[in-house]
Amino acid sequence: MAILGNPPHDSSSPALPGIIGSSAAMQEVYRLTRRVAGSNASVLVLGETGVGKELIAGAVHQLSHRSGGPFVRVNCGALSESLLESELFGHVRGAYTGAVANRAGRFEAAHGGTIFLDEINSTSLTLQVKLLRVLQEKEFEKVGDTTTLQTDVRVIAASNCDLMQSVRAGDFREDLYWRLNVVPIEIPPLRRRQSDIPALVTHFLEYYNEVNDRYVVHMGDGTLDALKSYHWPGNVRELQNYIERAVVMSETDELSVSLLPDCVTNDQAPIGVNIKSVDVDSLTRDVVMQGLSDAGSDADDVHSMIVDRVERELIAQVLAACRGVQTQAASRLGINRNTLHKKIKQYGLDEIDSNASDS
């Protein structure tokens, strides 16, 4: 049994405010974040769901000369296209049903500061044209208005998927991609920085002990090994969830293995689907043979085809396990529902969720 304490200070690359981790992978993220913060360049933050992309975006803002201005957050995957356009650019009274008054948008509210566009990959091609104009011309119009407004805003975007793959698939504009991807910052998944797990556990224990008036400060035998050997599909957010649950459920001052969910102790993805059941070798072999039979196919084409086939099979399995309920399937896949809906249409998987209530 060990007592959790503060992690040793590592001065080789100072951590960013509010971000935990001293691994080599995170030190590179800190270095790049500090380097780009002082500029006005657009930043594209990449990483899986739950790695902390918003924290890095906030750090870029706080370290910049715009830190005295607003930091405005927009989750592009949480709204429909029409609502997102109004949210970003604002609208005038009568622009559409329900628009009973003039309303400022997020770009207007972020003037002089930074706007963070999370899940930028979920935006429509139509909206992407308008975003490109803001990036290039620094101007826009409110929905239903013809008056052009100027804005001085730094744009930080984030995506949990490969945007270049979306460009190849025709779902994302290539010109917008290059405007956003001036400086990419890729946040590594938790499974690639296991040395940060003890410090993260300490941080979350301290926080949830305080808010729940508990005193869970000891680490039970085997607990840390279980946490470090798990593959963390939900990354830091998943770890945070499990530590909060353990603090709430613990009847002693010990964080024991028994307080961890089965998916951690058995190292199984908590999505009800065995990802390993996707026969990648077979799918890859079929695609390669198909590519070889097509004289026009090059290596990039074959790679794209393989990715599409594996992705389709995985989505099909998750949809089947969720009985076609898209909200549950999107959550288990770690993507937003709009993105899942596009993938269902793209791969012709409509029949799987045709009887679902939320389809």
Q: 39: domain CATH number? A: 3.40.50.300
Task: Answer yes or no: are the C-beta atoms of 216 and 255 closer than 8 Å.
Answer: yes
Task: Identify the residue whose tokens are 């010990």.
Answer: 254
Instruction: Evaluate whether residue 242 is within a structural domain.
Output: yes
Task: Identify the residue whose tokens are 């199984």.
Answer: 268
Separation between Cα atoms, residue 170 and residue 179, nearest integer Å? 17
- For residue 342 the two structure tokens come to 């596009």
Residue 321: which CATH number?
Answer: 1.10.10.60
Separation between Cα atoms, residue 201 and residue 20, nearest integer Å? 10
Residues 59 and 163 in one domain: yes
Residues 92 and 239 in one domain: no
Q: What's the pLDDT score for residue 12?
A: 57
Residues 114 and 230 in one domain: no
Residues 182 and 197 in one domain: no
Q: What's the pLDDT score for residue 9?
A: 43
Q: DSSP letter for 325, please.
A: -
Q: What's the pLDDT score for residue 200?
A: 96
Q: Which of 47, 14, 29 is nearest to 233 (CA)?
A: 47
Separation between Cα atoms, residue 55 and residue 73, nearest integer Å? 11
Instruction: Evaluate whether residue 87 is within a structural domain.
Output: yes
Q: How many CB atoms lie within 10 A of CB 5?
A: 9
Mean pLDDT of 117-136: 94
Instruction: Evaluate whether residue 16 is within a structural domain.
Output: no
Residues 173 and 88 in one domain: yes
Mean pLDDT of 215-225: 92
Residues 68 and 86 in one domain: yes
Q: What's the pLDDT score for residue 311?
A: 80
- For residue 245 the two structure tokens come to 């649950």
Residues 171 and 200 in one domain: no
Task: Answer yes or no: are the C-beta atoms of 210 and 244 closer than 8 Å.
Answer: no
Label each residue of 192-245 as H, E or C: HCHHHHHHHHHHHHHHHHHHHCCCCCEECCCHHHHHHHCCCCCHHHHHHHHHHH
Q: What's the pLDDT score for residue 352?
A: 61
Distances (CA, A) of 120 to 34, 44, 173: 23, 10, 11
Q: How many domains, the chain?
A: 3
Q: What's the pLDDT score for residue 321?
A: 75
Q: If you count them, how many residues does the chain have?
A: 359
Spatial CB neighbours of 311, under 8 Å, sequence gap ≥ 6: 343, 347
Task: Answer yes or no: are the C-beta atoms of 56 and 19 closer than 8 Å.
Answer: yes
Of 186, 212, 239, which closes a domain? 186
Instruction: Evaluate whether residue 3 is within a structural domain.
Output: no
Q: Which of 104, 112, 106 is nearest to 153 (CA)?
A: 112
Residues 280 and 328 in one domain: yes
- For residue 179 the two structure tokens come to 């405007």
Mean pLDDT of 272-287: 49
Residue 238: which CATH number?
Answer: 1.10.8.60
Residue 76's identity, in one-letter code, is C
Q: What's the pLDDT score for residue 156?
A: 98
Q: What's the pLDDT score for residue 303?
A: 59
Of 133, 162, 186, which closes a domain? 186
Residue 3 has pLDDT above 80, yes or no: no
Residues 77 and 126 in one domain: yes
Mean pLDDT of 326-334: 74
Least confident of 76-85, 169-178, 293-302, 321-330: 293-302
Dump pLDDT digits (tens) for 153-189.
Answer: 999 999 998 899 999 999 999 999 999 999 999 999 9
Residue 136 has pLDDT above 90, yes or no: yes
Whole-number mean pLDDT of the chain?
83
Q: What's the pLDDT score for residue 290?
A: 54
Mean pLDDT of 209-226: 93
Mean pLDDT of 243-264: 93
Distances (CA, A) of 65 to 60, 89, 101: 10, 24, 34
Residues 141 and 33 in one domain: yes
Task: Identify the residue whose tokens are 């990354």.
Answer: 235
Residue 275 has pLDDT above 70, yes or no: no
Q: What's the pLDDT score for residue 322?
A: 74
Domain of residue 210 covers 193-265
Residue 4 has pLDDT above 50, yes or no: no
Least confident of 87-101, 212-226, 277-291: 277-291
Dump pLDDT digits (tens) for 8-58.
Answer: 444 456 778 789 999 999 999 999 999 999 999 999 999 999 999 999 999
Label each residue of 271-282 as H, E or C: CCCCHHHCCHHH
Residues 44 and 102 in one domain: yes
Instruction: Evaluate whether residue 134 is within a structural domain.
Output: yes
How do beta strands 218-219 and 2-3 pair? antiparallel
Check residues 146 and 181 and name the one with the higher pLDDT. Answer: 181
At residue 267, the 3 state secondary structure works out as coil
Q: How many CB atoms lie within 10 A of CB 339?
A: 20
Dump pLDDT digits (tens) for 190-214.
Answer: 999 999 999 999 999 999 999 999 9
Q: What's the pLDDT score for residue 120?
A: 95
Task: Identify the residue whose tokens are 């730094």.
Answer: 154
Residues 69 and 206 in one domain: no
Of 243, 265, 287, which closes a domain? 265
Winning range, highest mean pLDDT, from 108-117, 218-227, 314-323:
108-117
At residue 150, the 3 state secondary structure works out as strand
Instruction: Evaluate whether residue 5 is within a structural domain.
Output: no
